[in-house]
Amino acid sequence: MLNVPSQAFPAPGSQQRVASQGRSKVPLKQGRSLMDWIRLTKSGKDLTGLKGRLIDITEEELKTHNKKDDCWICIRGLVYNVSPYMEYHPGGEDELMRAAGADGTDLFNEVHRWVNYESMLKECLVGRMAVKPAVPKGMLSKSQVTDTLPREGPSSPSYDWFQTESSVTIAIYTKQKNINLDSVMVDLQGDSLRAETFIQDHSYLVHIGLSHEVQENFSVRVIENVGKVDIVLQKRENISWKCLGQPLEKHDSFIPKKDTGLSYRRCQLISKEDVTHDTRLFCLMLPSSTHLQVPVGHHVYLKLSVTGAEIVKPYTPVSASLLSGFREPVPPPNKYIYFLIKIYPDGLFTPELDRLQIGDFVSVSSPEGNFKLSKLQEVEDLFLLAAGTGFTPMVNVLNYALTCMSSLRKVKLMFFNKTEDDIIWRCELEKLAFKDKRFDTEFVLSAPSPEWNGKQGHVSPALLSEFLQRSLENSRVFLCICGPTPFTDEGVRLLHDLNFSNDEIHGFTA
Ligand code: FAD
Ligand code: NAP
């Protein structure tokens, strides 16, 4: 909704346009871009009509503000007067009006829960619900939270702690087997410890103000077969702790992941390297007091302040190099996080990112995504279809396939770009194909030079049927596809025409 760039973005037919089942964008009037909105919010104009007062709003009161020129919406217990924002909303006025005079939390969560609406709409804040129509679930006590879980959801984890003379271990019992180091995210800031464990589509939070000081470095262990996570903290002083500490916000809550906010930590830019004429490899260093590993096929949000407003955009971490990832099946301790990012000179976020100097900071969110590695179990032929930076999720999928999938016979990448100069990591891909006979890559160009004698055009039935040859007649296949949304939509449609089922396809979308 909010952090989407200027005008009717993505423009009709633009490659940035999102899937039809997701957000749809409408043309915005001249002077109604995100930048124009930021300017208006900073102009000092009274956007709520309440002269800076904040009020408590009843459900009855909320219902009365249901017209375009008097439209209030409740999101996560807070009420905003969105009338001034109507013309700036990239999803259009009608989309906003769906929640007019009502609780828009679910609608918001469905479409763009990652958007930092608090920052973008802060000048439109009218107040809080006197009786909240949708209570922020994480604020509930544990028993209430448990009541909100779907019956078929995983059972609620619990935690315990114990100590030695020099260390304190917080043990989280997830009651779930398939968890690993990707399933846990820990941030230690001063005496505040925040540990989020992802269990299926839920999140369990341990959030504590520790009673004593600990050292910045800690370790995280996962005992997979019993589903236990140990966070081992080192005491600053070798004294016995009487209690672990005080519960902080949402401590001991277990809620669907979609209902949790994203958490951010500041990461330092360590290096920036040209990969193509417009794409760079950014290396960020995580704080030493953070444990964060992004699961294969998942992404994070990067957050920067652009002329005073916080802007967030999603990016998919990659390995430092296709070949080093291949050589090193066990990932090194997760201190660095790499991104291949295309800079759009007229884009909102990427030029700002590109302007960062080595040593500057950018905020990185907790991971998101719905790609499930379990889909790759027993797969023999893996086909990857990527266009432009849609290559980024393929990097870790490819590394995983070549190092961890014992069933794999063949993995093939069909990589669509405009020109040869646009092909990310072409040399690495070719070297990898040379080194590992299970891997093949084909480049397809939509705007090739006259010298190009490879494949040309857009994703098409002819290209796909030739590419999607199984290694055995009945081999088990899986296909991943990612790129500009129209490319992904068209690719998925063609794959269905070729009789691949939804279970065999993963389309990466926002
Ligand atoms: P934008 O401001 O979004 O503009 C992008 C382009 O659209 C520019 O050419 C701009 O001129 C054009 N444009 C802007 N406004 C309009 C308009 N009104 N009409 C017509 N055209 C317009 N990207 C990567 O490079 N690497 C990744 O790893 C990556 N991972 C992603 C993961 C996910 C899940 C998703 C959804 C996207 C990912 N992206 C990735 C894309 C990324 O999130 C941004 O969309 C991209 O970086 C562009 O951001 P920007 O703000 O710089 O450009
Ligand atoms: P690009 O260079 O503009 O395009 C790459 C290739 O795709 C070009 O050959 C292009 O052909 C082709 N293409 C574009 N639209 C098409 C369509 N409708 N049908 C068939 N082919 C089409 O791409 P980019 O600028 O790198 O953009 C990459 C996109 O991937 C962005 O939209 C980004 O948001 C998305 N992405 C998504 C994820 C995710 O996980 N969801 C991750 C990374 C990137 P033309 O020459 O005709 O344009």
The separation between the first and the last C-alpha atoms of the chain, rounded to the nearest angstrom, is: 13
Residue 327 has pLDDT above 80, yes or no: no
Mean pLDDT of 351-378: 95
Gap from CA of 348 to ligand 1 centroid (Å): 8
SS3 492: helix
The helix or strand, by DSSP H or E, that contains position 480, with its residue range, turns out to be strand 477-482
Q: Is 394 in the pocket of ligand 1 (CB under 6 A)?
A: no
Long-range contacts of 150-154 (CB under 8 A, 24+ apart): 150/256, 153/200, 153/201, 153/202, 153/256, 154/199, 154/200, 154/202
Q: Is 344 in the pocket of ligand 1 (CB under 6 A)?
A: yes
Q: What is the pLDDT of residues 6-64, one digit of tens each?
A: 333 333 333 333 333 344 567 888 899 888 888 888 887 889 888 766 777 888 899 99
Nearest CA to ligand 2 atom 26: 388
Q: Six-digit token pair at 289?
A: 């007091």
**Nearby residues of 434 by Cβ (< 8 Å), 6 or more positions away:** none
Q: What is the pLDDT of residues 275-314, one digit of tens each?
A: 999 999 999 999 999 999 999 999 999 999 888 889 999 9
Which of 9, 279, 370 to mutate for ligand 1's pocket (most ligand atoms within 8 Å of CB)? Answer: 9
Question: d(Cα 298, Cα 296) in Å, to the nearest integer?
Answer: 6
**pTM greater than 0.95 (yes/no):** no
Contact by Cβ (8 Å): 220, 291: yes
What pLDDT is attached to residue 109?
76
The helix or strand, by DSSP H or E, that contains position 186, with its residue range, turns out to be strand 184-189
